[in-house]
Amino acid sequence: MGNRLAGKKAVITGGASGLGAAMARMYVSEGAQVALTDINVEGAKQVAAELNATRKGAASAFAHDVTNEQQWLSVLEQANTEMGGINILINNAGIGSMGSIEDESLANWDRVMRVDVDSVFLGCKHAIKFLKENAPAAIINMSSIAGLYAAGTMPAYNAAKAAVWLLSKSVALHCAASKYDIRSNSIHPVFIRTPILDGMGKALNVENVEQRDKLLARGIPLGRIGEPEDVAYAAVYLGSDEAKFITGIELKIDGGMSAK
Q: Is 203 in the site for ligand NAD (CB under 6 A)?
A: no
Identified binder of ligand NAD from the candidate list 66, 131, 138, 235, rule CB under 6 A: 66
Is residue 229 involved in binding ligand NAD (CB under 6 A)?
Answer: no
User: Least CB distance from residue 71 to ligand NAD, whole Å?
Assistant: 9
Q: Which of 4, 41, 65, 213 binds ligand NAD (CB under 6 A)?
A: 65
One-letter amino acid at 127 equals: A
**Does 115 contact ligand NAD by CB under 6 A?**
yes
Judged by CB under 6 A, the residue of 33, 60, 67, 158 near ligand NAD is 67
Q: Is position 254 an interface residue for ligand NAD (rule: CB under 6 A)?
A: no
Task: Transcribe 180-226 into DSSP letters.
Answer: --EEEEEEEE--BSSGGGHHHHHHHT-SSHHHHHHHHGGG-TTSS-B
Residue 95 CB coordination number (10 Å): 16
> Residue 185 interacts with ligand NAD (CB under 6 A)?
no
H-run or E-run covering 130: helix 119-133
Q: How far is the CB of 163 from ligand NAD (least distance, A)?
A: 12
The dihedrals phi and psi of 19, each to the nearest 5 degrees, come to -65, -35
CA angle 11, 182, 76 (to 5 degrees): 30
| Distance separating alpha carbons of residues 82 and 248, to the nearest angstrom | 29
Binding residues among 16-45 for ligand NAD as defined by CB under 6 A: 16-20, 38-40, 43
Closest approach, Cβ 130 to ligand NAD, in A, equals 19
191 binds ligand NAD (CB under 6 A): yes
Cβ of residue 126: shortest distance to ligand NAD, in angstroms? Answer: 15
Among 33, 60, 92, 134, binds ligand NAD (CB under 6 A): 92
What minimum distance in Å lies between the beta carbon of 135 and ligand NAD? 25
**Total interface residues for ligand NAD by CB under 6 A:** 29
Please measure the distance between the N-terminal and C-terminal CA atoms of the chain and give it in whole angstroms: 36
Q: Measured between alpha carbons, how far is 71 from 132 in angstroms, rounded to an integer?
A: 21
C-alpha 77: how far from chain center? 20
Compute CA distances 80 → 13, 129, 135, whole Å: 14, 11, 13
Specify whether 237 is catalytic: no
- Could you say whether residue 252 binds ligand NAD (CB under 6 A)? no
Query: In which order are the strands placed within the sheet that holds 9-13?
Result: 59-63, 33-38, 9-13, 88-91, 137-142, 182-189, 250-253
**Which residues are part of the catalytic machinery?**
157
Residues forming the site for ligand NAD (CB under 6 A): 13-14, 16-20, 38-40, 43, 64-67, 92-95, 115, 142, 144, 189, 191-192, 194-197
